[in-house]
Amino acid sequence: MPRSPAGSSASTWPSPTPRRRSRSCAGCARRSSSTTAILDEACARLRREGGPRVTAAEVGHATALRAGIALSELGTGERADLAGLETRIAARVIGQQAAIEALCRCVVRSRLGFKPAGKPVGTILLWGPSGVGKTALAHALADEAFGADSLLRIDLAEFSEGHQVARLIGAPPGYIGHDGDGVLTGWLRTRPHSVVLLDEIDKAHPRVRELLLGMFDAGRVADGRGVQVTGEHALFVATGVSSAGDPRTLLGTELTGRFDAIIAMRRLGPAEYRVDDAVLGLLARAGGRETDGPDLGARPIRGAVERTLVDPIANLLLGRSAPLTVRATVRDGMIQLVM
């Protein structure tokens, strides 16, 4: 539990909100002692009124007094938005609550001022089978926490050679393309507050992973011209396929140790596919292997439904203006549609 300022016996509530509120006053934030001064004032108020601990309400009141602003103006809208972030993402990504919680915690810590200085907003590794929502989760997080067009996806399977580091940070002087920006550094310069999705990090060349290690560790990277580019306002989401093996073995403990969290993505079941049991039964009776195998994920199921049911029904509806009832049956291992 955080220690209260000297001379006070009150304990402070371990919530990021007080510190965020104490930093809301720009005039106070310019002085290194502002946080301690505000907590001193909050503790003094608590001693006068009685109570076991300093809460967000006391710190907010002290900050409002020092800043000369109304308590209601201290980021109420932003706090409400952050409070609903997890719910909004969970409505878009099914069955991956642990991963959603880990990513949302990174955003909340950063927005409330509890992110270590110079570090990225967060570094999360999503490790799991294909088709369980790793990429979809990154897209949902970018939309809900950073806004539209705030996601950069880098397919690291395309960076399996050491020299391809230049594509990320730009070519050094004297080389072809040295006047252009790298994919990563150019993005961070123009969209610093964003999500960077590093797909299939296990397929990247060791030099590429070494570059990312530096970014995760120091929150910045030097471009091809030697100019430092910050990544401290970005959230980095890396993915890997669990069938490749243990991430600590494949990536090394030095890199995996830089992740804030390594999340094992859940395999999805029929309840998460949101496909009617009758449809799954049709696919199974027709010999559809898409319903088997825990590592296949939802993507093959969707493809099978579209290929065997949606597309044939769409063809039947072409040129028909009257309503049409279609019944699907299985005969000789094949799905047949009967009007």
pLDDT digits (tens, 9 = 90+) for 140-168: 999 999 988 899 999 999 999 999 999 99
Nearest 10 degrees: CA dihedral of 292, 293, 297, 301?
-20
- Residue 125 Rama label (left phi>0; alpha psi -120 to 50; beta): beta
pLDDT at 267: 79
Question: Are 43 and 92 within one domain?
Answer: no
* CB-CB contact of 104 with 110 (8 Å): no
Question: Are 140 and 167 within one domain?
Answer: yes
DSSP one-letter string for 20-85? HHHTS-HHHHTSTTHHHHHHHHHHHHHHHH--SEE-HHHHHHHHHHHHTS-GGGTTHHHHHHHHTH
- On whether the pTM is more than 0.85, the answer is no
Q: Which residues of 172-190 are buried (b: 16+ CB within 10 A; e: fewer)?
A: eeeeeeeeebbbbbbbbee
Question: Are 292 and 197 within one domain?
Answer: no
Question: Are 148 and 246 within one domain?
Answer: yes
pLDDT at 291: 46
Whether residue 322 lies inside any domain: the answer is: yes
Question: Which residue range(s) make up the domain with 331?
Answer: 270-338
Whether residue 6 lies inside any domain: the answer is: no
Burial class, 120, CB count within 10 angstroms (exposed 0-12 / middle 13-18 / buried 19+): buried
pLDDT at 12: 39
Nearest to 4 by CA among 48, 52, 49, 50: 52
pLDDT tens sequence for the chain (339 residues): 444 444 444 443 344 444 444 444 434 444 445 567 667 767 766 665 666 777 766 676 566 544 444 344 446 667 788 889 999 999 998 889 999 999 999 999 988 888 888 899 999 999 988 888 899 999 999 999 998 889 999 999 999 999 999 999 998 876 766 667 899 999 999 999 999 999 999 999 999 999 999 999 999 999 998 999 999 999 999 999 887 788 999 999 999 999 999 999 887 766 655 555 555 555 555 555 444 444 455 556 666 666 666 677 677 777 666 666 666 665 665 666 666
pLDDT at 180: 75
Total domains in the fold of the chain = 3
Question: Are 181 and 275 within one domain?
Answer: no
CA distance 216 to 210: 10
Q: Which of 264, 289, 321 marks a domain boundary?
A: 264
DSSP state letter for 267 = P
* CB-CB contact of 17 with 63 (8 Å): no
Q: Which of 218, 241, 264 marks a domain boundary?
A: 264
* Dihedral angle sign, alpha carbons of residues 294, 298, 303, 304: positive
* CB-CB contact of 182 with 167 (8 Å): yes
pLDDT at 59: 73
The residue type found at 311 is: D
SS3 331: strand
Q: Which of 264, 295, 328 marks a domain boundary?
A: 264
